[in-house]
Amino acid sequence: MVADGVPAVLQRTREALRMGATQIKINSGGGVSSTFDPLDVTQFTFEETKAAVDAAKDWNTYVATHVFTDEAAQRALRAGVMSIEHGHLFTEATLKMMVEKGAFLSMQPLLDDEDAIPFPEGSFSRQKYISVTNGTDQVYRLAKKTGVKIVFGTDTLFDPVLATKQGKVLSKLGRWFTPVEALRQATSTAGELLALSGPRNPYPAGPLGVIKEGAYADLILVNGNPLDNLDLVADPEDNFDLIMKNGVIYKSRLN
């Protein structure tokens, strides 16, 4: 939805919530895949961002924002945004501000490697992708240093081929994190973020990201110990013996 000005932001946010949105996502800055969208621009005023945050709070949920740069992210954080999506060009100052605000960093281990998101060579999006991936290493190192709560994102929703590589993408976090730190980003810490949606929680069966009676039963049994070898999650076809979602078994190689 396009919204310019506080009344339009309020209207669009409320419309999305009435239609069943559990969280609200806005775009505070430029993007990689969007054709007419430089990375350096800031796209919502403080007042517009605050309008979305206030409308979401009225529905007892929160706002996430797509953003790469310090200026746009800091404005969003001051307005009360709780989840920062991407952030590959941040400096330490923004990450420290996230810690102060209790916000989460939903970042992706995007690299210009064999799993790069495909854009035509020489295109505007390809140029922006290079800029973003050049910042990945530094931001993960700074985020770990500052203690920001990090959740795992893939950003592969546009490509069914890349979507099959989510486990491989997760395993790339081993460059910066121990296996348990990486796995927590995809499980318990992610569950903590999603729980901020309160009664809008899309998983009403129980808490997320924990293994206990009454919890939402999304479980994977791995043939091996991913706490010792994170690369096991890169090959789910061979290494995942059981896949359960909400208590329903979709794959099992168990006797």
Q: What is the pLDDT of residues 110-144, one digit of tens each?
A: 999 998 888 999 999 999 999 999 999 999 999 99
Q: Residue 3: is its pLDDT beyond 80?
A: yes
Mean pLDDT of 214-241: 94
Query: What digits encode the pLDDT tens for the residues 40-71?
Result: 999 999 999 999 999 999 999 999 999 999 99
- Please give the model's pTM, rounded to 2 decimal places: 0.94
Residue 39: its pLDDT value, please? 96
Q: How many angstroms separate the CA atoms of 192 and 177, rounded?
A: 19
Short-list 63, 78, 79, 158, CA closest to 119? 158
Side-chain-facing half-sphere of 83: CA atoms under 13 Å: 25
Would you kindly state where each structural domain of the chain is located, as residue ranges? 6-209, 217-255
Return the CATH fold of 6-209.
TIM Barrel (3.20.20)
